Amino acid sequence: MKKITIAIDGHSSCGKSTMAKDLARELGYVYIDTGAMYRAVTLYAIKAGLIDGQNVDVDALRAQMDKVNVGFKFNEETGRPDTYLNGERVEDRIRTMEVSSKVSLIAAIDFVRSAMVALQQEMGKGGGVVMDGRDIGTTVFPNAELKVFVTASAEVRAQRRYDELTAKGEKCNLQEILENVQERDRIDSTRAVSPLRKADDAVVLDNSNMTIPEQKQWLMELAKSKIS
Ligand code: DC
């Protein structure tokens, strides 16, 4: 059976990664969460004191970029890859509100994007990958055999994120999360470098009113039709 490249792009907090991870596992493909990579760079910048409010010390980050080592290691226990920053497992720390509220700033920087895109192309060059992000079908793998663009209303996405954070015991506020979702959409879609947009040949999935098993089945059928 041929090993294809599957690009899953779309808005933040719309369940892309859950779908993409499940699909990768079912197909025996490698799953790559590119948002986690931008989040890891953001965590680096926070720890290095390079972000003050909404301002990033871009020159200092550029000078330190070769010290930012982002990668994944498969976690046998969860059956999913964990994100590492300079050898340290950061899977949980990159999902906090602190990182979420700064990541769009970092993901809009051209040299950060070119470094991450090069890494993503290297990781996925053999095919047999499910890569989720914002620009996979447009920039990273414009020739991917299957491209899906996932979306849902901002309110539904904020509620899902709220439920996820609350389940982890993090204190949060729904209105604040909704504003964060809307602000990230705005920054992601209007940035100069690789803005979030649907590739012309991507299939759209609006999952506002779908359950996770429904989405999973929809995606699995679509992928199988491309592979066989
Ligand atoms: O998917 P996520 O919410 O973990 O992504 C975090 C941020 O990174 C989000 O603001 C969009 C950005 N991102 C990006 O610009 N390009 C990607 N390929 C993946 C994520």
pLDDT digits (tens, 9 = 90+) for 152-207: 999 999 999 899 889 989 888 999 999 989 988 898 888 888 888 899 999 999 99
Determine the pLDDT at residue 80: 83
CB atoms within 10 A of CB 28: 9
pLDDT confidence tier of residue 228, bands split at 50, 70 and 90: confident
Q: Measured in angstroms, how far is the CA atom of residue 227 from the centroid of ligand 1?
A: 27
Token pair of 187, please? Answer: 């920054």
Percent of the chain with pLDDT over 70: 100
Cα-to-centroid distance, 113 and ligand 1 (Å): 11
Residue with the nearest Cα to atom 2 of ligand 1?
Answer: 35
Q: Where are the alpha helices (DSSP H) in the chain?
A: 16-27, 34-47, 58-64, 97-100, 103-107, 110-123, 154-167, 174-190, 212-227
Residue with tokens 């100069």: 192
Percent of the chain with pLDDT over 90: 78
Provide mean pLDDT across the span 111-125. 96
pLDDT of residue 40: 98
Closest C-alpha residue for ligand 1 atom 13: 35
Per-residue pLDDT for 13 more than 90? no
Number of domains comprising the chain: 1
CATH number of the domain bearing residue 56: 3.40.50.300
Average pLDDT over residues 84-95: 97
pLDDT score at 174: 96
User: Would you say how long the chain is, in residues?
Assistant: 228
Give the number of other CB atoms < 10 A from CB of residue 71.
Answer: 15
Give the DSSP H or E segment for 30: strand 30-33
Separation of CA 118 and ligand 1 centre (Å): 16
pLDDT of 153 reads 94
Residue nearest (by alpha carbon) to ligand 1 atom 16 = 134
Q: Whose CA is nearest to atom 3 of ligand 1?
A: 12
Which segments within 47-87 are labelled E, that is strand? 51-52, 55-56, 70-75, 80-85
Residue 1 has pLDDT above 80, yes or no: no
Ligand 1 pocket, CB under 6 A: 12, 34-35, 38-39, 103-104, 107, 133-135, 184, 188
Domain that includes residue 117, residue range: 5-227
Q: What type of residue sits at position 43?
A: L
Predicted local distance difference test score (pLDDT) of residue 82? 95
Q: How confident is the model at residue 92 (pLDDT cuts 50, 70, 90)?
A: very high
> How far is the centre of ligand 1, averaged over its atoms, from the C-alpha of 218 (Å)?
23
The rounded Å distance from CA 133 to ligand 1 centre is: 6
Sorted by sequence, the CB contacts under 8 Å of residue 186 that are 6+ apart come out as: none
Q: What pLDDT score was predicted for residue 63?
A: 98
Q: What is the pTM of this model?
A: 0.90
- Nearest alpha carbon, ligand 1 atom 20: 35
Q: Determine the average pLDDT of the residues in 112-137.
A: 96
Closest ligand 1 atom, CA of 9?
A: 18
Give exposure, 115-146, as e/b (b: 16+ Cβ within 10 Å). Answer: bbbebbeebbeeebbbbbbbbbbbbbbeebeb
Encoded tokens for 191:
């940035």
Residue 7 in contact with residue 144, Cβ under 8 Å?
yes
Q: 75 C-alpha to center of ligand 1: Å?
A: 22
Q: What is the pLDDT of residue 12?
A: 82
pLDDT in the model for residue 119: 97
